[in-house]
Structure formats: C-alpha cells, structure tokens
C-alpha cells in the first residue's frame, strides 16, 4: 500500500465517523454527516396568520370586499356591473352628487386595475375582455361627469357675456314664473336656484357661502329680483293681500324671501313691520347687515 | 497618430492589471468562511444573516452583516436558467432574517449546515428538491417574471431544519416580516424565540444590521460574565477546607 492510498483511507475514516462537538458541557453533532441521507424539508409557505392587519387599513380600499376579502380577484359573475350613467341622468345631479360619484367610480376603476394586474401579470397589458368592458363603462361615466361640469361652466360663462340681453331674459323668466301653475312651481323654483347662481352668483347651498367674497353688489341685486319675483306671484294668487301689504322696503324685508319659503317670509316681514324694525338701510350698511344676518342664520341651521 | 512606444504599451498593460486588482467583489469582511476564533476576533456576534434577493427570490447566507462575491460563488453551485447565479448588486439584497445563537460554535455550525443543505438541494439531492417545489403548468418552477418564491421558502425550511437537527437552544430569529416564517408547527418553541426587525429603510440597512450586531454582542458578553462568575464561585467553594 502506497503512502497516498493509506492517507486517503485515513481521511475517509475520519469523515465517516460522526463529528461531535462539546458545547456547554453537552456533546452534540453539529454537522451533517452525509448529505445523501438528509431528508429535505418542504418549503415553508408564508402565512398571514402570524400578524393582524387593521380592518380599517386604507389599502383595503383596493379590494372590492374590503377587509372581508378572501380571494385576490373576483370572478366576473361576482362583479356588480350595470349600465353606465347617461348624460341626462348626470345633468340632474348636484355638484356634491357628481363629486361623490366621481370618487366611487374612481375607486372601482382602481380595484379593477389591481385585479387586472393580478390576473395578467405585471408586465402584460389587460387581456381580459370582460374586465375591459366594465372598465370602459366606468371610464365613460367619468367622461360624462366631466362633460356635465363643462356644460355648467359654459352656461355660467355665457350668462356673463349676455350683457343687455340679461335684463331681457330676467324679465321673460319673471313673467313665466309669475304665471306658472302650482304644478310647475317646483320645477320653476329649481330653475330659479340655477338662475340666481348664474346671474347673481348666489350659491345654491348655504354651506358653500363664502361671506367675504360672495356677498357683493350683485348679491344684493339678486335678493331684490328674487323677493320681487316671489311676492309678485303671491299677489297674483292672492290679489286681496296686495293693498294691505304694500311694497317691500329694502334689503331687510327682501332677505327672508331668499332664506325661507314664501309664507314664512311674508310672516317675518309682517313681524318686522309690527316691531318697527323695518327700516331702509343706508347703502353703506347693506353688506355688513347681510353678512351678519346670513352668518347667524347658517350657525342656527348647523345647530 | 504616432505609434505607441513600447514603454507606453507596457505601462498600459500594467495599468489594466492594476485595475483588475482594484475590482470590488463585496464587503471584504464577508470574504472567506469564519471560524469561531475569527468571529470573536472580528468582534462579531454569534449570528447568521439571511439576505433575500428582491429580483429572483434566492437567499444568501452570511456570518457577518454583509456579503461578498465569494459567498455567492460558494452558495450557488449549479446555476441554470431557473436558478441563475444572482448578481451582487447591493440594491437586490434585503435582509430577510437575522438568527442570533447562544454561542459562536452554534453560529458557525448553523452557517455550515445551511450551506450544506443548499448544496444538497442544488447538487446532491437535486431531484428530491425539485419534486418538493411548486410547478407551473409547463412543469417548471412557478415564477412571476424572474421571481421564484420557492427559493425563499426553502431557505426558511432549511433554517428550521438546521436548528432542529443540531438542537441549537436559545436561538432568536428576528424576521423582516413575520409572514415569512409560516405556521408555528414548523418551529420548536423550546429552542426558538421569534421577533421582528425594526422598520428600516433600504439606505440604512447596514446601519440597522450593525446595531443589531452590537446589541447581540453586548448580551453575549453579559451571559459570558455571568457564566464566569458562576464558575469562579464554584471553584472557590470547592477550594474551601471542609470542616469536620
């Protein structure tokens, strides 16, 4: 036996013997003896059981069912998909409703976009025709909301450029308003709200009032127009009241017609006259009076 | 252009050789396998660091809070199209788990055990390892882009395997994400304590790991002191004359 063979034999006997280390006074095998006999373990799958996620975590909004989500994507049947909103429907909605609707649709589009990535993979464009169809409906709704808002802006701007025709239009509207029947009055009132915003900048909702900016000369003109319009219609229906009531005397008597309905407003004017508080204000006092009265009214409403 | 002088050519050759020696292959502290003595000399705690590759999902083991090309060459022995040799780029590797052991012997044994298990999976028992992996419809390892989650999951299984096999008591595993450690049935509660890494940003990963090393080192030093004081007490007691 050569020296080389003997040394190889020696080293092989060493590697076969179980390596044992003495640590902390205990003897332990701290090495794998034979790699061929190791029983490999299955990969350990991560689990979400190890931690809690708040059900109010904002990222849940990317899932249709929020924190109750069990699957990463919905099946097409689970998706509640109807038709898109039509222009005619959207035109009837207020700004607040459109604002809410915009964000509801946006959220839904985000959920869909996340699901499309889960289905198609990160580097692929959407290949799922059904997802695309739903997304297209939502996109159309978005486009129409923009279109409605644009229409309103255009209408507002057009009114500003009407010039001499403004008065003509206002007179025409007043005539139609005064002669309207009881069935049509609610429609006309809605129209009046839009008109007062377009012509005089009077916001439809009390919450939107910016007391510093919005209450100006135009606003005073608007109150005058609205009050006369409403009282004229009232006199047309109750001719006997006209002589005893007389004409409205300045801003103090006109303001109730903007804030209250016609019967309450008339009662308030009567109370004012009874208590001798109905004075025609000097021009310099008009705007401060309106600001203080409207702000107290808004506070009372909120309470 | 005038022809180059032979001295210029020689100089250029010398410069290229010099540039080759200047190439950086990673943190020099991570180069080479560390023994118990070396770990203590380098002021390292008895720890093993598991880095995961964000691009491919592969895992790199290291005895120090850094890595070197040599470790990558050593731990990815049979690269193929499904298990490519990963790049050393430092934006790819994020810490997945820091295993702190009771002593240096355990830390060295665990590191060697992990490397052995990797070799077993890649070379010795290739087919067995492949049979345990989740496949896609084509029969290849499941992937998304270049990412194969099975490699990370295998590393976690191997870590549990090593701790069980060598019975490494008083081990503390600090996870980047608790999610990764899987269900509790895979871990022996008498040996292991789980914890979570503090939230960190990629830029400060090395600083955070170094802080962990210093903390572990301090705790280890305290334990050693306690043991030594116990030993001296025992010796003193045994040396006291027995009064009959």
Q: How many CB pairs under 8 A join A and B?
A: 89
The pLDDT assigned to B244 comes to 45
Q: Where are the domains of chain A?
A: 3-37, 56-157, 165-302
A10 touches chain B (CB under 8 A): no
Instruction: Identify the DSSP state of A33.
Output: S
Chain A residues near residue B117 by CB distance under 8 angstroms:
32, 38, 40
Q: Which of A125, A227, A41 is nearest to B153 (CA)?
A: A41
Q: How far is CA A186 from CA A189, A193, A298, B120, in A?
A: 5, 11, 24, 84
Q: How far is CA A53 from CA A57, A70, B177, in A?
A: 7, 14, 13
Q: How far is CA B100 from the centre of its chain?
A: 11
Q: How far is CA B175 from the centre of its chain?
A: 13
- Residues in chain A predicted with pLDDT less than 70, given as ranges, are 1-26, 80-81, 122-127
Question: Does residue B18 lie in a domain region?
Answer: no
The pLDDT assigned to A126 comes to 58
**Cβ neighbourhood burial of A232 (10 Å; 0-12, 13-18, 19+):** middle
Chain B residues near residue A119 by CB distance under 8 angstroms:
none
Q: How far is CA B180 from CA A44, B118, B150, B183, in A?
A: 8, 19, 12, 9
The pLDDT assigned to B98 comes to 96
How far is the C-alpha of A261 from the C-alpha of A189, rounded, in Å? 11
Backbone angles phi, psi at A264, to 5 degrees: -60, -40
The nearest alpha carbon in chain B to A24 belongs to: B103
DSSP string of B172-229?
A: EEEES-GGGG--GGGS-TTTEEEEEPPP--GGGHHHHHHHHHHHHHHHHHHHHHHHHH
DSSP string of A166-217?
A: HHHHHHHHHHHHHT--TTTHHHHHHHHHHHHHHHH---SSGGG--HHHH-SH
Q: How far is CA B182 from the centre of its chain?
A: 20
Q: Which of A54, A60, A51 is nearest to A114 (CA)?
A: A60
Structure tokens belonging to residue B161: 């395997």
Mutate: best of A46, A47, A121, A123, partner B, most B CBs <10 A: A46
Q: How many domains does chain B have?
A: 1
Question: Does residue B91 lie in a domain region?
Answer: yes
The per-residue pLDDT for range A198-229, each reduced to its tens digit, is 888 888 887 777 888 888 888 999 999 999 99
More reliable by pLDDT, B174 or A124: B174
Contact B144 A47 (CB under 8 A): no
Q: Whole-model pTM?
A: 0.64
The pLDDT assigned to B158 comes to 97
Which of B124, B165, B167 shows the shortest C-beta gap to A36?
B124
Contacts of A262 (CB under 8 A, 6+ apart): A230, A231, A233, A234
Does residue B83 carry a pLDDT above 60?
A: yes
Contact B181 A42 (CB under 8 A): no
Helix (H), strand (E) at residue A13: helix A3-16
Instruction: Count CB atoms within 10 A of the CB of residue A260.
Output: 14
Q: Is the dihedral of CA B120, B121, B127, B129 positive or negative?
A: positive
The pLDDT assigned to A24 comes to 63
How far is the C-alpha of B45 from the C-alpha of B216, rounded, in Å? 6
Contact B178 A23 (CB under 8 A): no
Chain B residues near residue A29 by CB distance under 8 angstroms:
166
Chain B residues near residue A40 by CB distance under 8 angstroms:
117, 120-121, 125, 128-129, 132, 161
Contact B132 A32 (CB under 8 A): no
The pLDDT assigned to A124 comes to 67
Chain A residues near residue B178 by CB distance under 8 angstroms:
50-51
A72 touches chain B (CB under 8 A): no
Mutate: best of B36, B57, B105, B119, partner A, most A CBs <10 A: B105
Chain B residues near residue A42 by CB distance under 8 angstroms:
132, 157
| The residue to which tokens 């997304």 are assigned | A135
A25 touches chain B (CB under 8 A): no
- How far is the alpha carbon of B81 from chain A, nearest alpha carbon, in Å? 20
**Cβ neighbourhood burial of B168 (10 Å; 0-12, 13-18, 19+):** buried
Average pLDDT over residues B226-242: 79
Contact B51, B94 (CB under 8 A): yes
How far is the C-alpha of B50 from the C-alpha of B158, rounded, in Å? 11
Strands (E), chain A: 21-23, 26-28
Mutate: best of B125, B145, B199, partner A, most A CBs <10 A: B125
Q: In what order do the strands lie in the sheet with B171-175?
A: B59-62, B47-53, B93-100, B171-175, B192-196
Domain that holds residue B80: 28-215
The contact set of B with A (CB < 8 A) is 102-103, 105-106, 109, 112-113, 116-117, 119-121, 124-125, 128-129, 132-134, 144-145, 150, 153-154, 156-158, 160-161, 165-167, 177-183, 186
β-pair partners for B98: B49, B174
**Cβ neighbourhood burial of A57 (10 Å; 0-12, 13-18, 19+):** exposed
Contact A90, A145 (CB under 8 A): yes
The per-residue pLDDT for range A43-65, each reduced to its tens digit, is 999 998 888 888 899 999 999 88
The per-residue pLDDT for range B178-215, each reduced to its tens digit, is 999 999 999 999 999 999 999 888 889 999 999 999 99
A50 touches chain B (CB under 8 A): yes
The per-residue pLDDT for range B110-147, each reduced to its tens digit, is 999 999 999 999 999 999 999 999 999 999 999 988 99
How far is the C-alpha of A41 from the C-alpha of B150, rounded, in Å? 12
Q: How far is CA B91 from CA B51, B54, B201, in A?
A: 11, 8, 12
Query: DSSP 3-state assignment of B144?
Result: strand
The pLDDT assigned to A230 comes to 92
């Amino acid at each position: 036996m050569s020296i080389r063979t003997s040394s190889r034999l020696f080293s092989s006997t060493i590697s076969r013997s179980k390596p044992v280390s003495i640590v902390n006074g205990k003897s332990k095998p701290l090495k794998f003896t034979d790699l061929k006999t190791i029983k490999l373990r299955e990969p350990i799958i991560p689990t979400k059981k190890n931690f809690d996620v708040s059900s109010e975590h904002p990222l849940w909004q990317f899932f249709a069912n929020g924190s109750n989500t069990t699957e990463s994507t919905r099946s097409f049947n689970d998706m509640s998909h109807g038709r898109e909103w039509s222009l005619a429907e959207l035109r009837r909605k207020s700004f607040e409703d459109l604002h809410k609707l915009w964000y509801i649709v946006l959220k839904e589009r985000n959920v869909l976009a996340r699901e499309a990535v889960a289905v198609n993979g990160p580097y692929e464009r959407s290949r799922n025709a059904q997802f695309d169809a739903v997304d297209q409906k939502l996109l159309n709704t978005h486009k129409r909301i923009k279109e409605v808002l644009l229409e309103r802006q255009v209408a507002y701007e057009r009114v500003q450029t009407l010039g001499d025709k403004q008065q003509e239009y206002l007179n025409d509207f007043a005539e139609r308003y005064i002669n309207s029947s009881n069935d049509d009055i609610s429609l006309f009132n809605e129209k009046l709200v839009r008109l007062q915003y377009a012509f005089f900048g009077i916001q439809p909702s009390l919450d939107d009032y910016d007391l510093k900016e919005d209450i100006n000369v135009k606003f005073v003109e608007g109150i005058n127009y609205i009050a006369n319009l409403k009282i004229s219609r009232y006199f047309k229906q109750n001719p006997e009241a006209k002589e005893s009531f007389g004409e409205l005397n300045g801003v103090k008597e006109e303001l109730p017609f903007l804030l209250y309905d016609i019967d309450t407003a008339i009662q308030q004017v009567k109370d004012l006259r009874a208590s001798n508080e109905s004075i025609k204000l000097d021009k310099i006092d008009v705007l401060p009076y309106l600001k203080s009265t409207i702000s107290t009214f808004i506070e009372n409403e909120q309470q | 252009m005038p022809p180059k002088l032979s001295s210029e050519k020689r100089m250029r050759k010398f410069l290229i050789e010099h540039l080759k020696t200047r190439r950086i292959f990673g943190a020099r502290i991570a180069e080479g396998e560390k023994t118990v003595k070396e770990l203590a000399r380098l002021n390292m705690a008895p720890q093993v660091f598991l880095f995961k590759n964000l691009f491919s999902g592969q895992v790199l083991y290291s005895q120090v809070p850094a890595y070197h090309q040599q470790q990558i060459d050593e731990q990815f022995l049979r690269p193929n199209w499904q298990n490519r040799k990963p790049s050393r780029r430092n934006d790819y590797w994020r810490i997945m788990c820091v295993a702190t052991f009771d002593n240096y012997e355990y830390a060295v044994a665990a590191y060697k055990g992990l490397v052995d298990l990797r070799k077993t999976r890649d070379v010795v028992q290739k087919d067995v390892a492949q049979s345990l992996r989740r496949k896609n419809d084509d029969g290849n390892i499941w992937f998304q882009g270049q990412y194969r989650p099975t490699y990370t999951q295998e590393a976690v299984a191997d870590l549990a395997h090593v701790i069980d096999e060598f019975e490494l008591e008083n081990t503390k595993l600090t996870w980047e994400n608790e999610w990764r450690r899987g269900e509790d049935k895979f871990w022996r509660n008498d040996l292991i304590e789980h914890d979570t890494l503090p939230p960190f940003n990629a830029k400060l990963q090395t600083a955070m790991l170094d802080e962990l090393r210093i903390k572990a080192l301090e705790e280890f030093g305290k334990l050693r002191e306690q043991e030594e004081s116990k030993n001296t007490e025992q010796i003193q007691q045994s040396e006291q004359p027995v009064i009959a």
